[in-house]
Chains A and B, each alone.
Chain A
C-alpha cells in the first residue's frame, strides 16, 4: 500500500531528512520519502500494518517538528 501525505509548515530541510529516516526505520515500511520542496511524504508499506505505520509516522512528525500539520494529499 502506498499513500501520500502533505506536511504543512515544513520549513527545515534537515528536519525533512530526519523525518524520512525515522519513518523508513518503522517496522513494515518498504520505502518512505519526504520531499522538502513539495512538502510531500510518501510511505509504502505492508497492507496489514499500514494503519499502525500511518499512526507511527504521525507521531514521528509531531515529535520532530511539532509545528507541522500532517494532511492527506
Chain B
C-alpha cells in the first residue's frame, strides 16, 4: 500500500517535471502563456500540498509544513519568479518522497532485526497435528517443533533432542543443545532435530512476546535529546515565521532603495526552512536504531533515556554472586596429605554422594565417574559438621574444622584459603582437604577492563560474602573498590552513598542477577540485570537486561550508547548549522530558495542515512 502511494507520488512528480521542463524550453514573451504552463506544472506537482494546507487551516493547524511550503511557493509566483516557485515545490516533493522511502526502509530494517515473532504453532490434538495461531495455544498443550521452525511458546521438551539457535534472543552464535526435560524459550530456532514439548506459558507471557513488547515500547521513555528537539521544534517554527514576516515588511519601509519583491523573496527563503522535520525525524530514528542494534547483541534497553544514560556511566557497581561469578560451586583445589590426589577426591565424593547440597554436587562433578552405591555402607550425617561414612571398610570422615575438632583429629589450619574447605580423615587419620568455591566468569576480567577503557571512573563490587573471598575476587578482576559481608539492605545503603559521591552528570549503573537485588536495581540510575533469559523478575525490575550471562556485554551496551549519541549529536549539529547558515545567507539575500529546499529536505535525508548507520552492529561483537 505504502509503495503504491509512493509510486503515485513519483508519477505525479515526473509528469509535473515534464511540464515544467517544457515551460523552460518553450521560451515565450507572452507572460500569460508562461504563467499558465508553470501553473499547470505547479498544480500537478504540489496540488496535494495546497489542498492539505487549506484543510489543516480549517482544522486549526497553522504553521504546518504544507502551509509554509504553499505560502513560500505561491509567494514566489506573486513576485514573478514562476520558475522558481515550481522548482522549489518540485524539489520539496522529491525530497519528501525520498524521505518517506528512507523512513520506510529503515523501519523495515530495524523491525527485521526483531523478526522473532513466531507465526504458528503445531499443536498435537487427537493424534493429529494442527497448525494454529500461537495465541490459541494453552498451557500444557503438546506442541511439535520441526527442524528450521521457530519455537512458538515457552515450553519444556518431553521428547527428542536437538540443537537450538538462540542468537535472535542472546546474540550468542553458538547453538545450544537441548534434551528431554530442558526448557525451550520461544523465539529461538530449532536447528535440526524434531522436538515434542509441553507448553509452560501462554503466548502473551512467553519470552518472545515479552521481549517484543519491551523493545517496541522502548520508545515511550524518551531521551533528553528527544525532549529537547520536540520543545525546540515548538518554538523554532513560529519564531522563523515571525522573523520572515518582519523581514518582508520592515526593511523595504526603513531602508532606502529596498524593494518589496527582494525582501519578500528573502522572507520566502525563511519559510522554506522553517520546518524542523530533519531534526524531529532523525533523533527518534537514531535511538530506535540503537535499541534495535543492542537487542540484536542480546542487550535489551527499555527506553531511549536509558540508552542515553549508559554513555554517561561514571560508577559501575556489581553484585558478586551470579554476576561476576557463576554462582555455581566448583572444586578449586585438592590438597592431599599422604594419599594419592585421586583417591582423596574419590573417597570424599563417595562419602558425600547421598547429599544434595551444592557442595556435595560439586564434589561428585569433580570426581566425574559413576558412584557405585554398593561400596557405601553406614552413612551418618552430623548436621552443621559433615558426614561420616563407611566405604570399602574404611571410615571416611568429611566435614568442616568443627567436625575434626569434635573427633579430636589433628588437622592443618587453612585460614588463608578462599572458599569452603572440606577436611577429610580416613580411619581417623587426617588425609588433607578439598577447597570448593564459586567460579569467576570467563569474561569478568575483560568486562572490568573494557569498562575502564570506556572511561568508567569507578568499578565497585558489593557482596554478602566473606571479606577474604570478596577481596580476592575483586583484586583478581581489578575492581577499584569492594564492600563485603553486606546484607541485602546494606547494598541499597552503599549504592546511596556512592550516588551521593558521584558528579551531577555522571550516572551510576548497578549490575545484578535480578533475583534478590530488585531494590538496588530500582535505586540505581541504570539497573542492569544479567542472564535475563527466562527470568521474568529480572526483565521486570531492570532498565537494561543482558540476555546472556556475560558481564562484558555492559561495555558493549555503552559502546552502542556512545555511538548512538554521537550520531544524534552529529545530526543535531549539522541540521542546526545548515539551517542557521541558510537563514543568515537568506536574510542577506545571498541564499536562494533552492538552498533553502536543500537545507530542509536534503538535511533530513542526510540525517536519516546517518542514523541508519547504527544498525551496523556487527562491529560491537
Give the interface of A toward B (CB within 8 A).
9, 11-15, 17, 21, 31, 33, 35-40, 42, 63-64, 66
Cross-chain contact A36 with B216 (CB below 8 angstroms): no
Cross-chain contact A37 with B233 (CB below 8 angstroms): no
Q: In the complex the two chains form, what is the Cα distance from A63 to B52 in whole Å?
A: 11
Residues 96-140 of chain B: 1 if any A CB is under 8 Å from the residue's CB, otherwise 0? Answer: 000110011001001100000000000000000000000000000
How many contacting A-B pairs (Cβ < 8 A)?
64
Cross-chain contact B280 with A64 (CB below 8 angstroms): no
Please tell me if B230 contacts chain A, counting CB pairs below 8 Å: yes
Cross-chain contact A13 with B277 (CB below 8 angstroms): yes
Taking a contact as CB atoms closer than 8 A, the residue among A14, A21, A38 that contacts B219 in the complex is: A38
CB<8 Å pairs between A and B, sample of 19: A9-B5, A11-B103, A13-B281, A17-B233, A21-B230, A35-B288, A36-B284, A36-B285, A37-B284, A37-B285, A37-B288, A38-B107, A38-B111, A38-B288, A39-B107, A42-B217, A64-B59, A64-B61, A66-B59
- The residues of A that contact B107 with a CB separation of less than 8 Å are 37-39
Known contacts A35-B284, A38-B219, A38-B288; 5 further A-B pairs (Cβ under 8 A): A9-B5, A12-B277, A14-B276, A35-B216, A37-B107
- The residues of B that contact A12 with a CB separation of less than 8 Å are 65, 277
- The residues of A that contact B110 with a CB separation of less than 8 Å are 37
Q: In the complex the two chains form, what is the Cα distance from A42 to B60 in whole Å?
A: 25
* Residue of A whose beta carbon sits closest to that of B58: A63
Q: In the complex the two chains form, what is the Cα distance from A13 to B282 in whole Å?
A: 9
Give the interface of B toward A (CB within 8 A).
2, 5, 52, 55, 59-61, 64-65, 99-100, 103-104, 107, 110-111, 216-217, 219-220, 222, 230, 233, 275-277, 280-281, 284-285, 288
Q: In the complex the two chains form, what is the Cα distance from A21 to B222 in whole Å?
A: 13
Cross-chain contact B280 with A14 (CB below 8 angstroms): yes
Cross-chain contact A40 with B100 (CB below 8 angstroms): no
Q: In the complex the two chains form, what is the Cα distance from A14 to B66 in whole Å?
A: 12
Q: In the complex the two chains form, what is the Cα distance from A15 to B64 in whole Å?
A: 9
- The residues of B that contact A21 with a CB separation of less than 8 Å are 230
Taking a contact as CB atoms closer than 8 A, the residue among A35, A38, A66 that contacts B55 in the complex is: A66
Cross-chain contact B61 with A63 (CB below 8 angstroms): yes
Cross-chain contact A17 with B230 (CB below 8 angstroms): yes
Q: In the complex the two chains form, what is the Cα distance from A30 to B430 in whole Å?
A: 70
Cross-chain contact A63 with B277 (CB below 8 angstroms): no
* Residue of B whose beta carbon sits closest to that of A32: B220
How many Å from the CB of B568 to the closest CB on chain A?
14
- The residues of A that contact B61 with a CB separation of less than 8 Å are 63-64
Given A63-B59, A66-B55, do A35 and B276 touch, yes or no (CB 8 Å)? no
* Residue of B whose beta carbon sits closest to that of A66: B55
Q: In the complex the two chains form, what is the Cα distance from A6 to B280 in whole Å?
A: 20
Given A11-B100, A42-B220, A63-B60, do A36 and B281 touch, yes or no (CB 8 Å)? yes
- The residues of A that contact B220 with a CB separation of less than 8 Å are 31, 33, 35, 42
* Residue of B whose beta carbon sits closest to that of A14: B280
Cross-chain contact B216 with A14 (CB below 8 angstroms): no
- The residues of B that contact A39 with a CB separation of less than 8 Å are 107
* Residue of B whose beta carbon sits closest to that of A67: B52
Cross-chain contact A40 with B216 (CB below 8 angstroms): yes
- The residues of A that contact B103 with a CB separation of less than 8 Å are 11
How many Å from the CB of A30 to the closest CB on chain B?
13
Q: In the complex the two chains form, what is the Cα distance from A39 to B104 in whole Å?
A: 11
Taking a contact as CB atoms closer than 8 A, the residue among A9, A17, A33, A42 that contacts B280 in the complex is: A17
Cross-chain contact A14 with B275 (CB below 8 angstroms): yes
Cross-chain contact B216 with A38 (CB below 8 angstroms): yes
Q: In the complex the two chains form, what is the Cα distance from A40 to B218 in whole Å?
A: 11
- The residues of B that contact A14 with a CB separation of less than 8 Å are 65, 233, 275-277, 280-281
Q: In the complex the two chains form, what is the Cα distance from A10 to B151 in whole Å?
A: 32
Given A11-B100, A17-B230, A66-B52, do A35 and B277 touch, yes or no (CB 8 Å)? no
Q: In the complex the two chains form, what is the Cα distance from A7 to B159 in whole Å?
A: 44
Which of B104, B276, B281, B288 has the largest number of chain A CB atoms within 10 A? B281
* Residue of A whose beta carbon sits closest to that of B107: A37
Q: In the complex the two chains form, what is the Cα distance from A35 to B61 in whole Å?
A: 21
- The residues of B that contact A37 with a CB separation of less than 8 Å are 107, 110, 219, 284-285, 288
Cross-chain contact B219 with A13 (CB below 8 angstroms): no
Q: In the complex the two chains form, what is the Cα distance from A42 to B222 in whole Å?
A: 14
Q: In the complex the two chains form, what is the Cα distance from A14 to B64 in whole Å?
A: 9
Which of B52, B60, B276, B284 has the largest number of chain A CB atoms within 10 A? B284
